[in-house]
Amino acid sequence: MTEVGAPLSHAAGSADARAVIDWWIGVPPYDADWLQARQALWFGAAAQADAHIREHFGPSIAAAADGQLDGWGARPVDWLALLVLLDQFPRNLYRSDARAFANDAKARAAAEAGITQGFDQQLPATVRLFCYLPLEHAEDPAAQRQSVALFERLESDAPAALQPLFATLTDYAHRHAEPIARFGRFPHRNAVLGRTSTPQELEWLERHPQGF
């Protein structure tokens, strides 16, 4: 397993994969302070960060979507970079746009393939959330069940200092799973995807404006 103090990029085979990891994951130690500090980049909405992704990683995102980077799925750290390109970066580039979800099926397939090979277990616990988010983002009950199980396992395996943060991740996994169990899709995506919401979904959105 990659140690908490080992730079992930040193284990990446491709220079482009190293660039993704260096910017998105950063440098060790991958500890509680690091994890807390990265929250704004990962889950915030900063125009500067979105512009950086567009300028520096736009071609790589397109290449990943077209299958040109499928070879990255052969090594754990490169695989992690591929998942970030497919699942995370489009959500930054295409906020409130259907293109944010265009690579979700490919991201899920790549995530499942790597998890089956145990790649997630070869990465620090603090970065494994990006191995599992493609499952959390899937409009599929089976993927959601797997997401919840993986995040619960991650929380139980986490060091004591990280338990509160990982408990939050587990809670989000459960919250994402609920609308899929009820409706088979995320109602908050209906508008951008051109889907008509049912009365039940509209009622759900009134109570869950964030979508989950």
Cα 121 to Cα 129: distance, rounded to the nearest angstrom: 11
Closest CA to 88 of 78, 106, 100, 76: 100
Q: What is the mean pLDDT of residues 148-155?
A: 96
Burial of 179 (0-12, 13-18, 19+ CB in 10 A): buried
Measure the CA angle with vertex 72, ends 66 and 76; round to 5°: 140
Tens of pLDDT along 37-52? 998 999 999 999 999 9
| Separation CA 71–CA 181 (nearest Å) | 34
**Look-up of token digits 């393939």:** 113
Q: Flag whether pLDDT at 135 surpasses 80.
A: yes
Query: In the structure encoding, which two tokens stand for residue 120, read together?
Result: 């997630």
Residue with tokens 């482009």: 16
All structural domains of the chain with their residue ranges: 8-207
Q: Give yes or no for residue 6 having a pLDDT over 70.
A: no
Q: What pLDDT was estimated at residue 5?
A: 54
Terminus-to-terminus CA distance in the chain, angstroms? 33
Q: How far out from the chain centre does Cα 153 lie?
A: 17
- Evaluate if residue 167 carries a pLDDT over 60: yes
Tokens of 45: 């909405």
Confidence band of 163 (pLDDT split at 50, 70, 90): confident
* pLDDT attached to residue 204: 94
DSSP for 51-97, written as a single string: HHHHHHHHHHHHHHHTTTTGGGGGSHHHHHHHHIIIIIHHHHHTTTS
pLDDT at 154 over 60: yes
Nearest to 171 by CA among 131, 134, 129, 206: 129
Of 163, 161, 135, nearest to 149 by C-alpha is 135
CATH superfamily of 8-207: Tetratricopeptide repeat domain (1.25.40.10)
pLDDT at 103: 98
